[in-house]
Structure 1
C-alpha cells in the first residue's frame, strides 16, 4: 500500500508546506509518533477518526497514520459548521478527532469508545458533494484507494522526481487522489491554500519548479481569462482537469497551450464513489475530441444502459453510464450502524456496477462522451428540459449562468444582468427558445456564481435563492 511503503522512498522529499518539508523517512517517523499515541489510547480496536483536514503536513500525517493502523478516517473541512459537526458526531460516534493546522500543529481529542468496527472494511469516509454536513458518506476501502492510485500512475506520467502543487482541498476526492498517486510514486506534494489565480500560487510554482498541477473547470475558466495559456512554463510536464465538464473552447485552448509548451493536458472523469477516477482522455486526442472523457482507466470498464435496461452496443446512442472496477466504493453510509455492516460478506462485490447518473455515448473508436446528467432534467407542462442545454443556450446569448429548478420552476442565476440585459429580457429569450411560459421561469442576479468548497457549481444555493425571490 502507498501509505505503508514510505521508507522505500526514504531520501525523497514527500511534502512541503511553506518553509517546512518532510522527506519520506521523516514522514514515516512522524506517522509512527502519532500511531504510538493512538495505540496508547485505543489499543488495537478499530474506530472512526474525524480529521479536520487543513491543506498541509499535519493532515497528511494524520490521514496516513489512520490508514496505517486500519482505522476509518472521515476527512472534514476545518470550516464545518458546529451544528453539522455535532450531527456527524451523533451519527458516526468517532473515537478521536484530530484538528490539523499549519506548521504541523495538531490537537487530538479522544472520545469515549462506544463502537468497535471489528469487521468493517471501510478505511475512509468522504462526502459526496463537499458539503460536510450531509449525512450520506461514501465508504472506501484501502484496496479502493490503492487500486485507483495504481491506475492513475499507469496513465499519468508521474515520476519520483516530480513536484505537484496541491491547492485542491484535502477532503475533496480529486485533491486526495493527487496526494495518493504521488505518494505511490515517491513524488513530492507542495501544499498551499493559495488560489491558482493568485500571485502566491505562481510564486510557489516557480520557486519549487512545479512539474504538474490540477484544477476544476472554474479554475481553468479563470486562468484562461488571465491569459494563463500565454505563459511559458518550461518545467511543467503535465496538468489535469476533473470535477465537472469544461467547455469545449477552454479544452482546445488548454490543449494548444500544452502542445506549444511541450507538456500534456489530461481531461479526466470521476466520482467520489469510484475513489475517484474512472476515465481519462489521452493528451493526443484532446484537440481531436475536446468533448470526450476518453476511455476507462486501467482495470475499469464502462457500459451504457437504455431506458429498457438493455445494454447499448451501438455507437452514438445515448444511455445511462455505468462503471465497474476495483476502485468502486463499498457503499453509502449514514451512521455508525451502516458502517459496521460493511463487512467482507455484506459489501459490494468486485464486479459491482456503479450507476454514475450521467447520460453518455461512445463513438466508433470506443471513446466516451457525457451527454448530460440524468438528474439535470426538468419536466414543466409536460416539456422535458435539459438544464445543461439551457446553460449552453445562455452562453450563446453571451450570458454566464447556472440553471436549476424543480417541478414548478426553471431557475436561472446569473451575474450578467445589467441595464442593457434585465431579468425580464433573459426570461423572455429563454421562454422563446424553450417555448416555455415565462411564469415558470425565475431569473435572479448574483454578485458571483456560487461554488461548493470543491470549486463545483452550487446549484442547490441557486435553487434556494431562486425559490425565495421572484423576478
Structure 2
C-alpha cells in the first residue's frame, strides 16, 4: 500500500498550504519543512503535538508520518493539568508546542524514554479531544490511508480543491480534511480563525475555497447568520458530521445547496474508524433527512440484537456494527497498550442503536452506552458525574435532544454555578447544558439510578429544566 505522506511528493510545485495573507507553501517545501522538523526525533518513538491550525503543526504531523514517529495529537488549548496527566501516562519523548517566549514552534524534550510501540502504529487520537480523555484510539498507517482514499472517492476530491481548516486538526474529522487533500494534491487553506470571525469568511472568499466542513452547531449558526446572503461562488462541497443535524436543518441546507449547485453531504463517523463510516448521497437528502446514509466505499454495516445475532429485517433496531480497513487497531489506556497489535481485526461495534430501511439506508436512534455527542465532542455521561462528584456534589447526568442534562439532589450547589463549571470544562455552549434540582432520584430494584425514569421525570415537566 502506498501512503499519502509519501505519494504527495509527486505534486512538488503545486500549492499545499495557503495562508490568509496570500502566501503559499508548495508541496516540495512543505515536505522539506516536515522532514527537518523531525530530523532529531528517533524513528519509532512517541511524541505529542500540541495542535493549532498552523502550517507548523501540519508540517510536524506530516513529518512524523514520513519518518515513522508516532504522534499523539493534543488540543493546544487543553487545560494544563489534563495535558500533563496525559503526558505522565504515555511518556512522549518530546512535545511540539508554541513557545511563549518567542511565539515560535519547537520541540521540548521531556526526558522520558519512549514506550514500546507496535510497528504498525501510526497515530494516536484522544477519544474525547477537548476533555483530555486518557483513552486513545490506536490508528495504523493502513487505517489512515484507507479512510483517506474512501473519502476522496465519494466526495470526488481532486487537485483543484481548496479546503479551509474550519475544524481543529486534533479532531479526527478536522484531521481527515488534511489527510484527504494531501492525498489528492489539493490545497489546504490554513487558519486559526473561528467560523465566528469575519476574517474566516474573508479568507474563504478571497482564497476561493471549494469546500467547507462543519459540525451541527456550525450549521445551525450558519442558518441563523443567513449564509444564503454570503457570496461564496467557488464553494462546491459542504460536509457535516460530528453529531446529528436536525432534519429541518438538513432540508434547509439541501435546498440552499441545490440552488447554488453545491453538494451537501451528511456523514457519520467515529475516531475509532479514523473519521468516517457513512455518507448520505446528495440526491437522497430531501427524502431521508434523518438518515446517516450508507457505508463508505470499502466498508459495510450490519445490525445486531442484544445477543449478538444478526438482524436481517428492515426497520428493526439493533447495535450498529461497522467493518472496514479504517477500523482502529484498538484502544490504549496505558503506555503498555501501545505495543499491542490489531485487537479489532477491522470490526467496530459502534455503541449506537440504529435501524435500516428497506432501501438499505441507516438511521441512528440512540446510544447503547452512556456517551453523547454534542457540537462534535463525544462526552461520557459517567465522566461528567465523576467530575462533579470529585467536587463533593451528588449529581446524575443524562441527555435529551442533543442536550446534556444534569440532575442534582436537593440542597446541592446551585444549578447556575454547576452549569458554568460544566460549560467551562467541556467547552459547551450554555444552550446545551441544563441543570435541574430533583426532589427524589428514581432507583431500580437493585438500588441503581433509573436513568429512563429520571429523564421521564424531567421531560414530563415534573422537574423544571
TM-score class normalised by the smaller sequence: 0.7 to 0.9
What is the alpha-carbon distance in structure 2 between the residues aligned to residue 49 and residue 311 of structure 1?
41
- 1:227–1:458 CA distance, 2 compared to 1 (3 A): closer
- Deviation, structure 1 residue 52: 0.7
Alpha carbons of structure 1 residues 357 and 349: separation in structure 2 relative to 1, 3 Å: closer
CA contact (8 A) 1:413 1:466 kept: no
In 2, the alpha carbon distance for the partners of 1:257 and 1:448 equals: 38
Shift of 1:458: 9.5
User: Does structure 1 retain, via aligned residues, the 8 Å contact 2:116–2:336?
Assistant: no
SS of equivalent residue, structure 2 residue 113? coil
Q: Is residue 80 of structure 2 the alignment partner of residue 86 of structure 1?
A: no
1:213 is aligned to 212
Partner of residue 25 from structure 1, selected from 28, 50, 75? 28
Structure 1 residues 456 and 253 mapped into 2: Cα distance closer, same or farther (>3 Å)? farther
For residues 234 and 425 of structure 2, the distance between their equivalents in structure 1, rounded to whole angstroms, comes to 31
Aligned equivalents of 1:451, 1:258: Cα separation in 2: 35
- 1:236-251 matched pairs, under 5 angstroms: 236-251=235-250
Aligned positions, number: 416
Aligned counterparts of 2:304 and 2:395: Cα–Cα separation in 1 = 29
CA contact under 8 A between 1:411 and 1:462: conserved in structure 2? no
Deviations 1:231-283 (A, max 9, x none): 44321111100000000100000000110001100000000000010000011
* Alignment partners' CA distance in 2, 1:145 and 1:219: 26
* Corresponding position of 1:291: 290
Q: Distance in 1 between matches of 2:437 and 2:89?
A: 30
Deviation at 1:194, TM superposition (A): 2.1
Q: Could you tell me which residue of structure 2 aligns to residue 397 of structure 1?
A: none
SS at 1:108 equivalent: strand
Cα distance in structure 2, aligned partners of 1:36 and 1:231: 44
* Deviation string, structure 1 residues 323-363 (Cα, Å, up to 9, x no partner): 010000011101211112x23xxx2354x421111110111
State the Cα distance separating 1:104 from its structure 2 match.
Answer: 9.6
Equivalent residue for 2:349?
355
SS at match of 1:135: coil
* Aligned-partner SS, 1:4: helix
The aligned residue for residue 367 of structure 2 is 373
TM-score by length of 1: 0.79
Give the corresponding residue for 1:35. Answer: 38
Determine the C-alpha separation between the residues in 2 that align with 1:308 and 1:411: 25
**Cα 1:168–1:36 shift into 2, 3 Å:** same
Structure 1, gaps ≥5 residues long: 378-386, 392-401, 417-422, 428-437
Question: 2:18 corresponds to which residue?
Answer: 16
Q: Cα deviation per residue 1:127-176 (whole Å; 9 max; x = unaligned)?
A: 11123532111110111011000000110021101111112111000000
8 A Cα contact 1:254 1:265, kept in partner: yes
Aligned to 1:167: 166
1:277 alignment partner, SS class: coil
Q: Is the 8 A contact 1:58 1:100 kept in 2?
A: no
Q: Within 5 Å, which residues of 2 pair with 1:66-465?
A: 66-100=64-98, 105-115=104-114, 117=116, 119-340=118-339, 342-343=340-341, 347-348=342-343, 350=345, 352-375=346-369, 444=415, 450=423, 462=433
Q: d(CA) in 1 for partners of 2:397 and 2:79? A: 30
Question: 1:213/1:324 Cα in 2 relative to 1: closer, same or farther (>3 Å)?
Answer: same
Instruction: Compare 94-103 and 80-89 and name the one that shifted more.
Output: 94-103
Preserved CA contact (<8 Å) 1:98 1:106:
yes
Looking at structure 1, the residues matched to 185 and 168 of structure 2 have their Cα atoms a distance apart, in angstroms, of: 21
- In the alignment, the residues of structure 1 paired with residue 192 and residue 421 of structure 2 have an alpha-carbon distance, to the nearest angstrom, of 20
CA distance in 1, matches of 2:202, 2:242: 25
Matched, 1:2 2:4: yes
Deviation at 1:105, TM superposition (A): 3.2
Distance 1:368 1:451 in 2: 34
- How many Å separate the matches in 2 of 1:89 and 1:410? 28
Secondary structure of the residue aligned to 1:175 is helix
The alpha carbon displacement at 1:447 in A equals 8.0
TM-score by length of 2: 0.80
Q: Displacement of 1:35 after TM fit?
A: 3.1
Partner of 2:62: 64
- Between the aligned partners of 1:458 and 1:120, the Cα distance in structure 2 is 44
Q: 1:298 and 1:196 mapped to 2: Cα distance? A: 30
Partners in 2 of 1:369 and 1:228 — Cα distance? 27
- Is the CA contact 2:328–2:344 (under 8 Å) kept in the aligned structure 1? no
| Matches of 1:229 and 1:31, distance apart in 2 | 39
What value does the CA root-mean-square deviation take over the aligned residues? 3.6
Deviations 1:349-405 (A, max 9, x none): 54x42111111011111011111122359xxxxxxxxx99xx9xxxxxxxxxx9x79
Q: Is the 8 A contact 1:412 1:444 kept in 2?
A: no
Quote how far apart the aligned CAs of 1:2 are. Answer: 0.9
Are the counterparts in 1 of residues 17 and 188 from structure 2 also a CA contact under 8 Å? yes
The Cα shift of 1:444 comes to 4.9
